[in-house]
Structure 1
């Protein structure tokens, strides 16, 4: 980022953010800024006065957050403004905000994004199940999900591949892009002030895509392996980048494990809107689509209107979401039990000390 200062509107600032920041304007030493990178103990914040390295407290920010920063010899994040959107995955055993050390089943990958680009390579293979997982996270986040099939120039049958992806990405736009020759890039360029996050596996070409959108090398990229078309993992941290043509993008490391969080029910319903629509025609309201009579979902599979793979994926993600929700409930009950034990212990101690 070559700029010495960052006009807030270019970072996505608007009247809503200004209203949220109002309570901090009484402190003349507080600046509004957007978090570009989070490290252990400090984060990079973009402000109108330039790029700052600021410490933070027990509640770490996330890349994409808008924050109030106290300036001075040692800048520090004093508040995180309420998020409009947040891409959250679960089951990673890390801190819920920054991904630093901690014990949590919720991990915020990016905050305040308008578009979630789900990046999946055309070669050597395309994983429809992985696309569905990421779509569930994207729909739940509140951002607009868009599926990008990268390395489109390597696809053996691109029209057929796009049809298959479209069947797994109900309700989401699907685009084929080739960062090497520029095909398809115009459809995914961002307007000034808009923010996108790139989600996908290692080697999918996310950093190459960022460079193509920026029109210059801003991210390090790895070569494609000969023989199988797989890219090499290069991104090691999440970072918010301001593109020369306007817009912002958050590049992320390749996601090896894409766990669902404990509150992804709405995201799953939107991801599998076709299954949900069919389920409305089942004879029983609580139909599990296993072997029940009058099941409209099973009838659609038998007729060929619904791919069996699609139903299998729905079942798998529903089971995982239910397990995560159950685990969250158990964790909440354990925490409540622990708190009551502390209260009762203090009450007994107070009773013993009473004259």
Structure 2
């Protein structure tokens, strides 16, 4: 007989419920695997996973055979932050995610890549040097939109510039949407303590941002000791080296879980994003006030969006970025629909026992 599961101990690792799982899908998997014990993915490598099934206890695990098939969707494999069921050192089930932050994977074919799962807050980290880019911050917010987590914009290296307040003013349209904006010195514990409200016991936070933005430095400061390798950025363009080489979930002194990630060069949408949920709620609210429902926000009469541009209420660069991201999301959504249709055909053939092969393009 297996030992009873200590759900109270799992709560210190981010387990979201006291006692047995409340979601029917979770409970069904527990029922299907009565010998299974829950664990959380703390590291993801090309060759496997490291899973913690108790505080401070992490083991190398094997993934299910189907996950190793070349055509198996990558976003259906476990990612850092996921909860899984283990039997011995074998992962036997992936528990449905509460939240996630994902991106479209690089390449011609449609794929999704899960950056982190079951997270409460996303720290979008941007340096107040040449790394500062409002349009890229909006792109990160696009990825957060629809994933269920809260975004917090963290501007690091505030000690290296006199223009922190100016940078915050540039992002005031985000602050008006109740997106927290903080300018901090990532090397100073007192300054970094401004992030503690999001790092309470049982909370999970993921740091995202470009290489050199200061994610690893901030992680070390919040931990109180140097765990993550850091490197100086290039002086001519503030670009950093990839000091973080893989995603890892780290327990914090506050009882929170922090996920550090490598810098990401490509931030492609998956097609599931909702721009109006995070980052562009004000633009879409203005669009609702246009005289014509199909207004393209160019020079149509009664366009509330253009009126906001003319009055200085809305930044035109931000509007252009909204158009660009909206077009990318629509294109990704079309690819997603095609992929889902292909998967439905595959499942239909498999259920009939047929050996199905995709048609090769000529």
What TM-score does the superposition give when structure 1 sets the normalisation length? 0.85
Counterpart Cα distance in 1 of 2:49 and 2:240: 29
Match of 1:282 among 285, 290, 304: 290
Q: Which moved more, 1:197-206 or 1:322-331?
A: 322-331
Shift of 1:324: 0.9
Shift of 1:109: 0.6
Counterpart Cα distance in 2 of 1:84 and 1:291: 42
Q: Measured at CA, do residues 78 and 16 of structure 1 come closer, stay the same or move farther in structure 2, by a change above 3 Å?
A: farther
* Partner of residue 69, structure 1: 86
Q: Within 5 Å, which residues of 2 pair with 1:33-112? A: 33-48=39-54, 50-57=57-64, 58-59=66-67, 60-71=77-88, 75-93=89-107, 104-112=110-118
Q: Which moved more, 1:14-23 or 1:163-172?
A: 14-23
Q: Measured at CA, do residues 141 and 27 of structure 1 come closer, stay the same or move farther in structure 2, by a change above 3 Å?
A: closer
Q: Measured at CA, do residues 83 and 336 of structure 1 come closer, stay the same or move farther in structure 2, by a change above 3 Å?
A: closer
User: Do residues 177 (structure 1) and 191 (structure 2) align?
Assistant: no
Match of 2:123 among 92, 117, 124: 117
Counterpart Cα distance in 2 of 1:230 and 1:340: 49
> Residue 84 of structure 2 aligns to a residue in which SS?
strand
1:39-60: CA deviations, max 9, x gaps?
Answer: 2342100112821111111242
Shift of 1:37: 1.0
1:125-160: CA deviations, max 9, x gaps?
Answer: 411111001112113210110000011112231111
Shift of 1:230: 4.0
Shift of 1:106: 1.2
* Partner of residue 331, structure 1: 339
Counterpart Cα distance in 2 of 1:120 and 1:79: 36
Q: Which moved more, 1:241-250 or 1:203-212?
A: 241-250
User: Do residues 143 (structure 1) and 170 (structure 2) align?
Assistant: no
Alignment RMSD: 2.7
Counterpart Cα distance in 1 of 2:235 and 2:331: 41
* Partner of residue 232, structure 2: 223
> Residue 313 of structure 1 aligns to a residue in which SS?
helix
Q: Measured at CA, do residues 301 and 154 of structure 1 come closer, stay the same or move farther in structure 2, by a change above 3 Å?
A: same
Counterpart Cα distance in 2 of 1:284 and 1:217: 57
* Partner of residue 359, structure 2: none
8 Å CA contact 1:114, 1:194 repeated in 2 = yes
Q: Within 5 Å, which residues of 2 pair with 1:6-21? A: 7-15=9-17, 18-19=20-21
Structure of higher CA gyration radius: 1
* Partner of residue 350, structure 1: none
1:276-311: CA deviations, max 9, x gaps?
Answer: 111121001121212222111011111111111111
8 Å CA contact 1:35, 1:66 repeated in 2 = yes
> Residue 53 of structure 1 aligns to a residue in which SS?
strand
Shift of 1:77: 0.6
* Partner of residue 254, structure 2: 245
Number of residue pairs aligned between Structure 1 and Structure 2:
329
Counterpart Cα distance in 1 of 2:352 and 2:321: 47
Shift of 1:274: 1.1
Q: Which runs of 5+ in 2 are unaligned?
A: 1-7, 68-76, 355-362
Q: Measured at CA, do residues 90 and 174 of structure 1 come closer, stay the same or move farther in structure 2, by a change above 3 Å?
A: same
What TM-score does the superposition give when structure 2 sets the normalisation length? 0.83
Q: Measured at CA, do residues 219 and 342 of structure 1 come closer, stay the same or move farther in structure 2, by a change above 3 Å?
A: closer
Match of 2:201 among 192, 211, 215: 192
